[in-house]
Amino acid sequence: MNKWSEKARRTSFGRAGAGLAVMVLLAAMPANAQETAVYFQQNCASCHTIGGGRLTGPDLKDVTGRRDREWLKSYILNPQAKMDAGDPYALQLLDEARGVVMPIPPGITPERADYLLDLIEAESALEESQFKGVQISNEPFTAADVARGLAIFKGSRKLKNGGPACYSCHSVSGLGGLGGGNLDPERGDLTLVYERLQGRTVLSSWLMAPATPTMNSVFKAAAMESDEIHALVALFEDRAQAGKPAKSQAQLTFALLGAGGAALALMFFDFVWKGRFLAVRRPLVESEKL
């Protein structure tokens, strides 16, 4: 037993050690401009454009002119801390983003933040930045789009690049039964996400490269196709118009199913073990009274 756990501990130390080494190595690598652009595309572009107008977050064109570099760097490194510290400009940003807090970009380092600011500065100077934002078609959504969106959401239609179905972590109204996953109880319900992210453009670009740490790590290697995003946005628009979040109803269903299931399980065990030893004298006396 002791030997066993000793071994297990050594192995896990080994793994953690290896992981640490890789991370140190990555951070030490000189990030060239090309790499920073890829990083921006994967981690920033879902909420920010450079010269394409605001999405969830503000347009970053000429941002280095609006605030000094040190402020921007510390904000990128930890946006939440800035807000907690009561920085008025950070709070204003929060207000403009309708309460959506910018997550800490995955793998951010002071060095990388510098590169990012360099990139933004350089791109701002261009006539037309490569990060102007994606072109979202304005075709109206059809019922077929909504249905396809629901199929993708529930996973009955697989994502082409192998991403997991939304259903595993999220819920949306009209799923029936227990609803979907509940990974983030506060914002995991996507019924009103269309409103929260102010419509089609922002939502679509968000889905191009999801920015939250969890989704980012999952979808970095399995980006969604634009027709899939189109269908999902159609679904979210439809659900947002319909209104109510799915949460409360799913919770009730869950509680009821749980209670019912427990009762059934007890009845089952009672049946299987009906010959169990309960008492001797009392049944004897009671059988005679009948």
Partner 1 sequence: MNVRSQISMVFHLDKCIGCHTCSIACKNIWTDRKGTDYMWWNNVETKPGTGFPALWEDQDKFKGGWEKHNGKIRLKSTGKGRIIPNIFHNPNMPSMDDYYEPWTYDYQNLFNAPEGPDQPTAKPISMVTGEYIDIESGPNWDDDLGGSPIYAANDPNLEGLTKEQRLQLMSIEQLVFFYFPRICNHCMNPACVASCPSGALYKRGEDGIVLVDQKRCRAWRSCIAACPYKKVYFNWFTGKSEKCILCFPRIETGQAPACFHSCVGRIRYLGVLLYDADRIEEVSNLPQEELIDGQRSMILDPNDSHVIENALKNGIAESTIKSAQESPVYQYVKVWKLALPPHIEYRTLPMLFYVPPMAPVMAQQKAGGLDSISENLFHDIEEARVPMKFLGNLLGGGQEGKVLYALRKEKSVRWYRRAVTVGDVDLETAERMLKEADCTVKEAQAIYELTSLCTFDQRFVIPPAHREEAIEALKDPMEHKQGTGFGFLSGPRRGL
The residue ranges that bind partner 1 (CB under 8 A) are: 276-277, 279-282, 284-285, 288
Helices (H), the chain: 2-28, 33-43, 63-66, 69-77, 79-84, 88-96, 110-125, 143-154, 193-196, 200-208, 213-219, 226-242, 247-272, 281-289
Name which of 241 and 287 has its Cβ closer to partner 1: 287
Name which of 3 and 289 has its Cβ closer to partner 1: 289
* Minimum CB–partner distance for residue 4 and partner 1 (Å): 20
* Minimum CB–partner distance for residue 278 and partner 1 (Å): 9
Those residues with Cβ within 8 angstroms of residue 11's Cβ, 6 or more apart along the chain or in another chain: none
Residue type, 276: R
Provide the token pair at 228: 């899939």
CA distance 219 to 163: 6
Name which of 32 and 287 has its Cβ closer to partner 1: 287
Name which of 3 and 282 has its Cβ closer to partner 1: 282
* Minimum CB–partner distance for residue 288 and partner 1 (Å): 5
Burial of 14 (0-12, 13-18, 19+ CB in 10 A): exposed
CA distance 202 to 208: 10
Do residues 82 and 90 make contact, with C-beta atoms less than 8 angstroms apart? yes
Do residues 236 and 194 make contact, with C-beta atoms less than 8 angstroms apart? yes
- Using DSSP's 3-state secondary structure scheme, residue 58 falls into coil
* Minimum CB–partner distance for residue 1 and partner 1 (Å): 17
Name which of 13 and 269 has its Cβ closer to partner 1: 269
Name which of 25 and 280 has its Cβ closer to partner 1: 280
* Minimum CB–partner distance for residue 274 and partner 1 (Å): 14
Closest Cα to residue 173, out of 254, 224, 130, 235? 235
Provide the token pair at 150: 């629901």
* Minimum CB–partner distance for residue 269 and partner 1 (Å): 14
* Minimum CB–partner distance for residue 290 and partner 1 (Å): 12
Name which of 3 and 281 has its Cβ closer to partner 1: 281
